[in-house]
Structures are given as structure tokens and as C-alpha cells.
Amino acid sequence: MSARRRRTRFVWDAIGLALFVVISFPVYWMIASAFKPQDELNGLTPTWIPLHPTLSHFRDAMNRPFFWDGVKNSLIIVSVTVALSMVLAFLAAIALAKFRFTGRSLFIVLIIGIQMLPQAGLIIPLYVVLARYHQVNALSGVIITYMTFVLPFSVWVLRGFLLGIPKDLEEAAMVDGSSRLGSFTRILLPLVAPGLVATSVFAFITTWNEYIFARVLLNDQSKQTATVWLSYFTGTSRNTDWGGLMAGSTLIAIPVVVFFLIVQRKIAFGLTSGAVRG
Amino acid sequence: MTTSEIPGGTALAAEAALRPRRRRPFTFARVLRAAAPYLLILPVVVVIAAILGYPLYHLARLSFQKYGLFELIARHGTDVGWANYSSVLHDRVFWDVLVRTIVFTVANVALTMGVGTLIALLLTKVSSIVRVLLTAGLVLAWAMPPVVAVQVWLWMTNTENGLLNYTLTKLHVGDYFQHDWYATSFSQLSLTTSLIVWGAIPFIVVTVYAGLSQVPHELVEAAEIDGARAWRVFKDVTVPIIKPIFLVLTSLSIIWDYVKTDFGRGAAISILMLLIVAVLSVFYVRKMVRTSHEAT
């Protein structure tokens, strides 16, 4: 490497590092603030690192009313939504990836179109429908609402993963005398398993993060989800408990961040696989 | 495909052997095979239709009705034809909000795509340690739940002792002591934009970078040997190859950012918004339907 080249590489690295600091700073600041004692938080001069780290904010946040209710409700809603959606979406994805049929384009337009609906405009009519089925203020109502938003997305991503499987493999299995079902369970399912995991984790994140519908559809505090709990945290506008708020935020963000780190690459691939290949 | 590789005679014989099987009369297995894709998509269609079908119908019907307090008590609206639409379309506030939404969306998408692409290009230039660090930072930002991100933003920009005010004052950008960022709608929108862009950039960077790594090295080197400068290489070699990704990402960003900036109220406005999004997304849908046909 010539001296000039090394110098330009150094400049790029410096810019890259600066960007890293700017982009990850909000996340750092959230975690750092959660560990700071009250006087460090309220001081006019911010302390960049918590000098006397404390866990009291985390204790406060967890002891606040309805925190564990929120976590429990979120977990129930998320796991049921994800499990049901994956089964249904996988079936539909097989139809899209492996069959040609009349109405296929229409189904694709439906799948993509739903993801573009302005959700705010749907809240009130959705509320009316769910009230008619007695599903307002019930976790099942939120679950089925989330499914309508998780399903189209999951069908689309799973379709991408299924298309990634070489046709020859399946055909080879058929020639070897397996039935269609046999080739499905022995060849297709193991190959698409990573895709299923990635999609369900992404569905987990979307559902866990959702806020607007949960806020509108669940009135009881004992029935609210973790994100709704966080939004009620602030209290009076004059006197916000920033330490507790940041501790609560950290607690709610942790599961999402951990899962996300595991699958982000696969999801980016699944979302654009059709486009790259076309 | 495989038959074309076999010499003509064998191919014909093979086809002849298959033919009697294909002419089988209706059997249960054949009916099942024809119905299979429909059975597979049925559950998804049923769930979506049950939960979204009626709200959409209700929304559309409501947009042609007068539905005030009186009608709420009577529990049914009175038909007013296109009156809601014409009143919305003649409402100055609607147009103001529409223009603001469009400007806001265009700004967000331009910023997200521009900055995102630049960072993706930067990733191809930096050393591997910096690349890993920067990617990790991006993924962290991407993973933050929006509700949490909003709280962090509020904390950093709060009036009394927000970090933003402190830093800007310290850096001598101006006197931002106890500056209220939520006093004017412009600075409020700017903060919202920064939050949206911060959350939306990672997906763009990761995807564009994946596309960039698909550009064959030989092509770039060949162009460089032919004396092409960096900009020419980028324009004539890299851009054509990543263009499909780029187009899809832009339309996706428009849709996602637009859906985020919903200021509208009322059924007629919702329907109009739906129509606008539909028009905007025609390109994306067409592209996806087409590639989906090619892929099978």
C-alpha cells in the first residue's frame, strides 16, 4: 500500500468512526442515563459516563405498578401471534413459491398492498369490528389484529427463502421415489428452517414494538403491553423521572436488540431477494 | 428445460410415454392438486378478510355519510354522496397538511437514501475493524423500539438540561441554554425527521452494501485499467448493477416514511391517503409482481 493510499484509508476510517459515535450515541446515552444517580441526571453539566453507577432506577422501574403485567401480556401476545402467523404464512408462501395458479398476482397485490395501509385511518373502524366480536380489551383481539399485519410481511419474506432453494434438490428427492409430502418434510423443511427462524424473530420484534393498536384496543392497565406501559411512564410534564424512564426503556429494548442482532442479515436478504434476482 | 438437451427422438418418446398418464380422467388426486394452492392461501386470506375487510368497507361507506353526534346516537349515518370529499378537497387545512406531508416525506426519503447510500459506499472503503464497528452501531439503532427511541430523543432534547442544548452551547453554535425545541413546528418536525432518518438508515445501508458487494471485482478492475476514474467506475459499473435494489428501496422508503407521517383525520381523508399511497406504490407493486413471475 502506498503512502497516499494509506492516508486516504485513514481519512475514511476516521469518518467511519465519527459516524459510529453519532449513530450509536443515543443507545449509549439511554443505557448510561439508566445507571446514573439522580444528582448526575439533574445536573446542568451532563456527565458523559456514570461515575457512581446505581441499579436503583432499574429497581424503581420494575417495582412500578403494572410493569410485570405489561411484560407478561406482551409475551403472551407476541408468542401466540408469531406461532399462528408462521404456520399460516408458511402455507401461503409455499403456494406462492411452488405453484402457478389463477389469482396469484391478485394475491401478491393484496399481500403488498396491506403493508401500505395507513394504519391510523383503520384504528376506529377496526375498533368497531372488534367491539362487535367482543374482542376489545381482550388480548385475543390484539393478537388477531397483529396477525393481519404480520402475515403479509411473513408470507413475502418466506416466499423469498423458499425461492432460494434449488428446484433440482426437490426434483432429485421426487425421482428417488419420495412423495410430494416426503420431499417436503425431508428436503424443503430443513432447508427453509433458518428462514422460518429469521422471519419469526422479525415478527417477534414488530409485535413487541407495536404501540398504537395496543394503546387503543386495551383499556385496562392490567391488560396493557410493555410499550404502552412505557408511554404512561412520564408522569407530569414538569417533573419527569428520566432515570427510571431510561431504565424502563433499556429493559424493554433488551430482548428486541438481542434477537435482532441474531437475524438482521437474513432479514435484509429475505426482503429484497426478489428484487436482486430480477 | 431438460428435454431440449436430449436428442429429438428420445424427447418425443419420453413425451409419448407420459401422455396417457396426463389424459387421466378426473381423479381425487388431480382435483386436490389443482386446489392445493388455494387451500394453502385460504387461511391467510380468511384472517385478513375477517379483520381488515370490514374496516375497509366501513371506512369507504362512512366516507359517503354524515356521521355526527346525532347520527352516533341514532346509530346510523345519512348518505351525503361526495359531500365529505368535496368539503375536504375545498378545505385549506387539508391542502396545507397534504403539502407539508409531501415535503416532509420527500425530505425524509431523500435524506435516508442519500445518507444511507453514502454510508454504504464508505463501508467499502474503511478497514475491517471500522466496518464491523459501524455495522454494529447501525444494527443497534435499527433494533431500537420506536417507543423507546422517542423517549430517548425527548430526554436528549429536553429544555432544562438536555444534552443537545448543552453540546450546541459548548460548541459555540449559539446560545441554546434552556432552548425549547418543541416551541416551533419547524424545529419539532426537524427533530422528528432526525429520529426517522436515524431509525431508517440502517436498513438502507445494510441492503445497499449487500448490493455493492455483488458488483464483480473484475469489472471494476477492468474499468480502472482502461483508465476510468473513480466517479466513472461508480456511475457506469456500480450504479447499473445496484439500480434494481436502489429503486425498490426508494419506493419502500417512500411508503414506510409516508405511513409514519399520518396527520389525517376522518374517513374521507383516510381514503384519499390510501389512494395517494396506492399511486405512489404502483411502481413497487409492479416490480414485485413481475420479479415474482420471473422467479418461478
Residue range B202-214, pLDDT digits in tens: 888 877 887 777 7
Cα distance from A34 to chain B (closest Cα, Å)?
11
Q: What average pLDDT does range A124-146 have in this prediction?
A: 86
Mean pLDDT of chain B: 74
Cα distance from B9 to chain A (closest Cα, Å)?
22
In chain A the domains, ranked by start, together with CATH numbers, are: 3-54 (no CATH), 66-277 (1.10.3720.10)
Q: Which of A49-58, A180-189, B12-21, B185-194 has the lowest mean pLDDT?
A: B12-21
pLDDT given for residue A78 in this prediction:
93
Q: Which of A108-112, B40-44, B154-158, B277-281 has the lowest mean pLDDT?
A: B277-281
Q: What average pLDDT does range A14-32 have in this prediction?
A: 91
Write the DSSP assignment of chain B as a string of letters.
-GGGGS-HHHHHHHHHHHHHHHT----HHHHHHHHHHHHHHHHHHHHHIIIIIHHHHHHHHHTTEE--HHHHHHTS-EE-TTHHHHHHHT-HHHHHHHHHHHHHHHHHHHHHHHHHHHHHHHHTTS-HHHHHHHHHHHHHHHHS-HHHHHHHHHHHT-TTT-HHHHHHHHTTS---TT--TTSSHHHHHHHHHHHHHHHHHHHHHHHHHHHHTTS-HHHHHHHHHTT--HHHHIIIIIHHHHHHHHHHHHHHHHHHHHHH-----SHHHHHHHHHHHHHHHHHHHHHHHHHHHHH-
Interface of A with B in 55-74 (CB under 8 A): none
Per-residue pLDDT of B219-245, as tens digits, reads: 777 887 887 777 777 777 777 777 766
- pLDDT higher than 90, residue B218: no
- pLDDT higher than 80, residue A8: yes
A6 contact B CB<8A:
no
DSSP A99: -
pLDDT given for residue A14 in this prediction:
93
Write the DSSP assignment of A4-54 as a string of letters.
HHHHHHHHHHHHHHHHHHHHHHHHHHHHHHHHS-HHHHHSSS--SS-SS--
Q: Which of A8, A257, A275 sits opposite B248 (nearest CB)?
A: A275
- pLDDT higher than 50, residue A276: no
Q: Which of A3-7, B6-10, B33-37, B174-178 has the lowest mean pLDDT?
A: B6-10
- C-alpha–C-alpha distance, residues B115 and B109, integer Å: 10
Per-residue pLDDT of A147-191, as tens digits, reads: 988 998 889 888 877 887 777 776 766 666 666 666 667 777 777
Q: What average pLDDT does range B274-280 have in this prediction?
A: 69
pLDDT given for residue A76 in this prediction:
94
Q: What average pLDDT does range B123-152 have in this prediction?
A: 85
C-alpha distances in angstroms, B262 versus A194, B273, B277?
A: 36, 9, 11
Across the interface, whether the CB atoms of A242 and B155 are under 8 A apart is answered: yes
pLDDT given for residue A46 in this prediction:
80
Cα distance from B151 to chain A (closest Cα, Å)?
8
| Residues of A whose CB is below 8 A from B288 | 108, 112, 274-275
Across the interface, whether the CB atoms of A23 and B141 are under 8 A apart is answered: yes
Mean pLDDT of chain A: 81
Q: What average pLDDT does range A245-273 have in this prediction?
A: 73
Would you state the cell numbers that stand for residue A112, as one nine-digit string? 403488498
pLDDT given for residue B290 in this prediction:
67
> What ipTM, to 2 d.p.?
0.75
Angle ∠(B261,B115,A227) on CA atoms, nearest 5 = 40
- pLDDT higher than 50, residue B263: no
pLDDT given for residue A17 in this prediction:
93
Please compute, for residue B293, the number of CA atoms within 13 A of its CA located in the half-sphere on the CB side: 13
Q: Is A138 helix (H, G, I), strand (E, B) or coil?
A: coil
pLDDT given for residue B3 in this prediction:
39
Q: What average pLDDT does range B34-52 have in this prediction?
A: 87
Q: Which of B148, B158, B163 sits opposite A252 (nearest CB)?
A: B148
Q: Are A93 and B43 in contact (CB under 8 A)?
A: no
Per-residue pLDDT of B92-109, as tens digits, reads: 777 777 787 778 878 888
- C-alpha–C-alpha distance, residues B210 and A133, integer Å: 46
A105 contact B CB<8A:
yes
- C-alpha–C-alpha distance, residues B110 and B120, integer Å: 15
In chain B the domains, ranked by start, together with CATH numbers, are: 25-51 (no CATH), 92-295 (1.10.3720.10)
Task: Give buried/exposed letters for B57-85 (b at 16+ CB in 10 A, else e).
Answer: ebbeebbbbebeeeeeeeeebeeeeeebb
Per-residue pLDDT of A215-246, as tens digits, reads: 888 888 888 898 888 888 765 455 678 888 88
- pLDDT higher than 50, residue A192: yes
AA identity, residue B157: T
Q: Which of A12-26, A66-80, A97-111, B171-185 has the lowest mean pLDDT?
A: B171-185
- pLDDT higher than 80, residue B252: no
pLDDT given for residue B257 in this prediction:
63
Across the interface, whether the CB atoms of B145 and A253 are under 8 A apart is answered: yes
pTM: 0.74
pLDDT given for residue A235 in this prediction:
53
Chain B residue with CA closest to A47: the answer is B163
A110 contact B CB<8A:
yes
- pLDDT higher than 90, residue B189: no
Cα distance from B8 to chain A (closest Cα, Å)?
22
Q: At what angle do helices A139-163 and A67-98 cross, to 10 degrees?
A: 40
A257 contact B CB<8A:
yes
- pLDDT higher than 80, residue A136: yes
Q: What average pLDDT does range A88-107 have in this prediction?
A: 87
Cα distance from A74 to chain B (closest Cα, Å)?
13
| Residues of A whose CB is below 8 A from B208 | none
A240 contact B CB<8A:
yes
pLDDT given for residue B164 in this prediction:
85
- pLDDT higher than 60, residue A123: yes
- C-alpha–C-alpha distance, residues B40 and A92, integer Å: 5
Across the interface, whether the CB atoms of A99 and B153 are under 8 A apart is answered: no
Q: Are A262 and B172 in contact (CB under 8 A)?
A: no
pLDDT given for residue B264 in this prediction:
38
DSSP A238: S
pLDDT given for residue A132 in this prediction:
81
